[in-house]
Amino acid sequence: MKVRVASYNVHGFVGADGVRDVRRAAAVVTSLQADVIALQEVGFAESEDEPGELLAALTGYTAVAAPIQRRDGFRHGNVVLTRLPVMRSTRICLDFEAHEPRTAIEVWLQTPGTPLRVIATHLGLRPVERRHQVRTILSHVADDENAVTVLLGDFNEWFLIGRPLRWLHRRFGRSEGVATFPASRPLFALDRIWVHPPSSLRAFRAITSAEIRVTSDHLPVVAELEVG
């Protein structure tokens, strides 16, 4: 079964023009034509645990969300959108000391053959945070032998020889580093997709257009998988 997965940091729906436009971001999400999409920095209303504004602008997706409360009061977080049936989901705590809270979402999705296990995340800004967070994720997938696993998101890792990337490459195989940040002139490969087993990954690329470059400060990335 062919499955398209994507990752996109929507920057709180605020574009390079300073305008917050949920429908503009939703149009980019729709254009990716992905079966599973990991979103980072999705804004949430104060009283909701699902991205109501975003879902109102989309059709055909189920959302699994993990909002967090920042110190400035803004609520945002990771969201997994899927067209595949959700079997179960778990929130993985990646908090480190007094730094901004971080999470990963693990979602098991039903396919006609092998289950698809998706772990979507947005790692911290400091190297010591990312080392802790990657160790936590790796310990969580240590027993993974019965599914195709996809690890994707904004990893905030620009040190190509840093330990977090080396650990992830050792576990999942090397991910292709395509520059995605800043969207206006990409220099850093912050947004990545790993797949285990690596043979399930058939293609990977960043998506860009004039509209996408103004919608967020990151470019989205898309991967084509063969599952089962």
| pLDDT tens sequence across 113-161 | 889 999 999 999 999 999 999 999 999 888 766 789 999 999 999 888 8
Provide φ and ψ at 91, rounded to 5°. Answer: -95, 130
- Tell me how far apart the alpha carbons of residues 134 and 140 are, in angstroms, rounded to a whole number: 10
Q: What percent of the chain has pLDDT over 90?
A: 74
Distances in whole angstroms, Cα of residue 33 to Cα of each of 50, 83, 200: 21, 10, 19
Domain ranges, ordered by start, for the chain: 2-226
Q: What pLDDT digit, counting tens, does each position of 160-175 carry?
A: 888 999 999 999 888 8
140 Cβ contact list (under 8 Å, min separation 6): 92, 104, 106, 119
Residue 39's pLDDT is 97
Residue 144's pLDDT is 63
Q: What is the mean pLDDT of the chain?
A: 92
- Which superfamily is assigned to 2-226 in CATH? Endonuclease/exonuclease/phosphatase (3.60.10.10)
Q: For 186-199, what is the mean pLDDT?
A: 95
> Which segment of 60-69, 70-79, 101-110 scores lowest on mean pLDDT?
70-79
Please choose, from the candidates 160, 163, 164, 162, the residue with its C-alpha nearest in 3D space to the C-alpha of residue 176.
Answer: 160
- Tell me how far apart the alpha carbons of residues 33 and 36 are, in angstroms, rounded to a whole number: 9
Residue 126's pLDDT is 93
Q: For 48-75, what is the mean pLDDT?
A: 84
H/E stretch holding 145: none
For residue 81, pLDDT over 90 is answered with: yes
Sequence-ordered strand ranges (E) for 130-173: 148-154
- Start-to-end CA distance of the chain, whole Å, equals 6
- Tell me how far apart the alpha carbons of residues 130 and 133 are, in angstroms, rounded to a whole number: 5
Q: 62-69 and 2-9 as β-strands: parallel, antiparallel, unpaired? A: unpaired
> Which segment of 69-73, 102-106, 164-168, 208-212 scores lowest on mean pLDDT?
69-73
Residue 164's pLDDT is 93
Confidence of residue 9 (pLDDT cuts 50, 70, 90): very high
**DSSP-based helix, strand, coil % in the chain, nearest 5:** 20, 35, 40
Q: Structure pTM?
A: 0.95
Residue 42 tokens, joined: 């999705």
